Amino acid sequence: MSVGEMFPVSAADLAVLHAQLAQTADSADLLDLSYRLIDSPIGRLLLAATPRGLVRIAFEYEGFDEVLESLATKISPRILEGTNRLDAAWSELDEYFTGRRKAFDLELDFALSSGFRQHVQRYLPQIGYGQTRSYKQVAELVGNPRAVRAVGSACATNPLPVVVPCHRVLRSDGSLGGYLGGLEIKRTLLQIESSAA
């Protein structure tokens, strides 16, 4: 007779035990990364946070397992699903997607970016809700007018899409340009903002 047959545990009991383990690990500072999967109007998203703040938002097409492996390598292998560390991020994203939030009030951890890319990504939240800027304008606004391609690269590698609004950066001719989540998602985010502005 197996242990599972001698001591049957329901899925609900396992979920409770997992939640308790996650909270205990988080409270005892044994957890470097916490993640959660959420459903949204732009598809499933993976949210990940360190004790310093939200560190990664990933689109499903990126492959959540690959994203978690990358986070384990770049930040820490001490990662666990489902602590309340991501409650505020989930709540604010839900408010954003339903048009009730125009600015995020989350602590952000820019550990996955450095140098000029991080400089650009830290600037992007200054582009107001429902507004857009061109790659050229952003380059000028961050003090390096000739770094248009580097601004494009910073947007393309943004580890915190939606919250750090690289979707608000367009080509000079007003066309969408690129987007980590794909052009349809970029278009959707811009439509959410234009209809709720």
Given 33, 49, 166, 190, which residue is catalytic?
166
Q: Is 155 a catalytic residue?
A: no
Long-range CB pairs of 83-88 (<8 Å, 24+ gap) are: 83/22, 83/23, 83/25, 83/26, 83/31, 83/34, 84/23, 84/26, 85/26, 85/34, 85/49, 85/51, 86/34, 86/35, 86/36, 86/47, 86/48, 86/49, 86/54
Nearest to 74 by CA among 112, 128, 36: 112
Which residues have a catalytic role annotated?
Answer: 166
